[in-house]
Structure 1
Amino acid sequence: MTATHPTRPGEWFDTGMGLDDIDAGHFRMDITTDRYTDRDYVQREHDNIWMRVWQVAGRESELPEVGDWKEYRLLEQSFVLIRGRDQRIRGFVNACRHRGNMLCNGKGNAKRGILCQYHLWSYDLEGKLKGVLRQEENDLTALDKEGLGLLPISVECFAGFVFLNPDPDAEPLSDFLGEVVDFLSPYHLDEMDVVLDVREALNCNWKVVMDAFEEGYHISGIHPELLQVVMIDPSTTRYHFFDKHSVSCAPFEVAGKKYGLEEQIEGIMKLPETFPSVTASLPRFQELVAEYRDANGELAFPEGVTPRTVLQTATRETLTGMGFDVSGLTDAQMSDNHGWVLFPNFFMTVRAGEATVILAQPHESGDPNKCYWHIISVMWLPDEYKDALRTDHIEVEEPGSFKYFLALQQDYEQMPRQQIGLRNSRLDHMSLVKEEVVIAHYHSVVDRYLSDAVQ
Structure 2
Amino acid sequence: MTKPADPKLAPGEARCPGPSLQDIYDADGDAVPAAMRVEQYEFLGDEDLSFDRYFNPDFEKAEHERLWNRTWQWACREEHIPAKGDRYVYDIGPYSILVVRGENGKIRAFANSCPHRGMQFARAGSAGVKRATIRCPFHGMTFNLDGSLNEIPCRWDFPHLNEDNFRLTEVQCDSWGGFVFINMDPDAPPLAEYLEVIPEHFKLWTMDDRYVALHSEKILPANWKMAMEAFLEAFHVLETHSQAVATAGDANAQYDIFGKNVSRFMHAIGVQSPHIQTDFTQKQIFAKLGRDPDILPEGETARAYHAQLLREEYSEKFGVDLSDRSTGEMLDSIEYFLFPNAFFFPGINIRLSYRFRPIDVDHCLHEILILQPVPANGERPAPAKPVRLGIDDSYTTIEGFDLAEILDQDTDNLMMQRNGAKASLKGAQSLGNYQEARIRNLHRTLDEYIKS
TM range (shorter): 0.7 to 0.9
Q: 1:206 to 1:9 in 2, by over 3 A?
A: farther
1:310 aligns with 2:310: no
Once the two structures are superposed, the pairs formed by residues 50-449 of structure 1 within 5 Å of their partners are 50-105=68-123, 106-136=126-156, 138-139=158-159, 144-234=162-252, 237-254=254-271, 258-269=279-290, 290=295, 292=297, 300-301=298-299, 305-316=300-311, 324=320, 330-352=326-348, 355-363=351-359, 367-382=360-375, 391-396=384-389, 399-400=392-393, 403=396, 405-424=404-423, 426-434=425-433, 435-449=435-449
Q: 1:378 to 1:441 in 2, by over 3 A?
A: same
Q: 1:268 to 1:30 in 2, by over 3 A?
A: same
> TM-score, normalised on structure 1?
0.81
User: Matched residues in 1 for 2:116 and 2:65: separation?
Assistant: 26
Counterpart contact for 2:395–2:407, Cα < 8 Å: no
Partner secondary structure for residue 105 of structure 2: coil
Deviation at 1:398, TM superposition (A): 6.9
Partner secondary structure for residue 147 of structure 1: coil
**Greater mean alpha carbon deviation, residues 323-332 or residues 413-422:** 323-332
User: Matched residues in 2 for 1:241 and 1:119: separation?
Assistant: 49
Q: Which amino acid aligns with 1:372?
A: L
**Greater mean alpha carbon deviation, residues 208-217 or residues 96-105:** 96-105
User: Matched residues in 2 for 1:239 and 1:414: separation?
Assistant: 25
| Aligned residue in 2 for 1:16 | 39
Counterpart contact for 1:353–1:380, Cα < 8 Å: no
Partner secondary structure for residue 351 of structure 2: strand
Q: Deviations over 1:120-173 (max 9, x none)?
A: 2101111111011122453257xx223211000111111121111122332211
| Aligned residue in 1 for 2:57 | 39
Q: 1:291 to 1:119 in 2, by over 3 A?
A: closer
Q: 1:261 to 1:128 in 2, by over 3 A?
A: same
Q: Which amino acid aligns with 1:50?
A: W
Matched pairs, number: 409
Q: 1:207 to 1:328 in 2, by over 3 A?
A: farther
| More helix per residue | 1
Counterpart contact for 1:206–1:370, Cα < 8 Å: yes
Tell me the percent identity.
24
User: Matched residues in 2 for 1:100 and 1:389: separation?
Assistant: 32
Counterpart contact for 1:210–1:347, Cα < 8 Å: no
Deviation at 1:319, TM superposition (A): 5.2
Q: Which amino acid aligns with 2:307?
A: Q
Q: Which amino acid aligns with 2:365?
A: Y
User: Matched residues in 1 for 2:322 and 2:106: separation?
Assistant: 28
User: Matched residues in 2 for 1:225 and 1:401: separation?
Assistant: 18
Counterpart contact for 1:36–1:205, Cα < 8 Å: yes
**Greater mean alpha carbon deviation, residues 247-256 or residues 45-54:** 247-256
Deviation at 1:369, TM superposition (A): 1.2
Partner secondary structure for residue 217 of structure 2: strand
Partner secondary structure for residue 339 of structure 1: strand
Deviation at 1:113, TM superposition (A): 0.3
| Aligned residue in 1 for 2:26 | none
Counterpart contact for 1:237–1:251, Cα < 8 Å: no
Q: Which amino acid aligns with 1:309?
A: A
User: Matched residues in 1 for 2:374 and 2:163: separation?
Assistant: 47
User: Matched residues in 2 for 1:348 and 1:15: separation?
Assistant: 17
Q: Deviations over 1:197-235 (max 9, x none)?
A: 11122221000122100111111111122222212343x
Q: Which amino acid aligns with 2:372?
A: M
Counterpart contact for 2:354–2:369, Cα < 8 Å: yes
Q: 1:42 to 1:137 in 2, by over 3 A?
A: closer
**Greater mean alpha carbon deviation, residues 239-248 or residues 57-66:** 239-248
Counterpart contact for 2:196–2:258, Cα < 8 Å: no
Deviation at 1:83, TM superposition (A): 1.0
| Aligned residue in 1 for 2:7 | none
Deviation at 1:326, TM superposition (A): 5.3
Counterpart contact for 1:33–1:429, Cα < 8 Å: yes
Counterpart contact for 2:335–2:344, Cα < 8 Å: yes
Partner secondary structure for residue 407 of structure 1: helix
| Aligned residue in 1 for 2:24 | none
User: Matched residues in 2 for 1:328 and 1:449: separation?
Assistant: 42
Q: 1:328 to 1:50 in 2, by over 3 A?
A: farther
Q: Which has the higher contact order (CA 8 A, sep 6+)?
A: 1
User: Matched residues in 1 for 2:178 and 2:322: separation?
Assistant: 17
Q: Which amino acid aligns with 1:335?
A: L
Deviation at 1:306, TM superposition (A): 1.8
User: Matched residues in 2 for 1:153 and 1:86: separation?
Assistant: 19
> TM-score, normalised on structure 2?
0.82
**Greater mean alpha carbon deviation, residues 323-332 or residues 31-40:** 323-332
Counterpart contact for 2:333–2:350, Cα < 8 Å: no
Counterpart contact for 2:257–2:441, Cα < 8 Å: no
User: Matched residues in 2 for 1:150 and 1:324: separation?
Assistant: 43
Counterpart contact for 1:248–1:338, Cα < 8 Å: yes
* Structure 2 segments unaligned to the other structure (5+ residues): 1-30, 399-403
Partner secondary structure for residue 249 of structure 1: strand
User: Matched residues in 2 for 1:189 and 1:448: separation?
Assistant: 30
Counterpart contact for 1:33–1:427, Cα < 8 Å: no
Partner secondary structure for residue 36 of structure 2: helix
User: Matched residues in 1 for 2:355 and 2:166: separation?
Assistant: 34
**Greater mean alpha carbon deviation, residues 254-263 or residues 75-84:** 254-263
User: Matched residues in 1 for 2:133 and 2:381: separation?
Assistant: 32
Counterpart contact for 2:220–2:391, Cα < 8 Å: no
| Aligned residue in 2 for 1:450 | 450
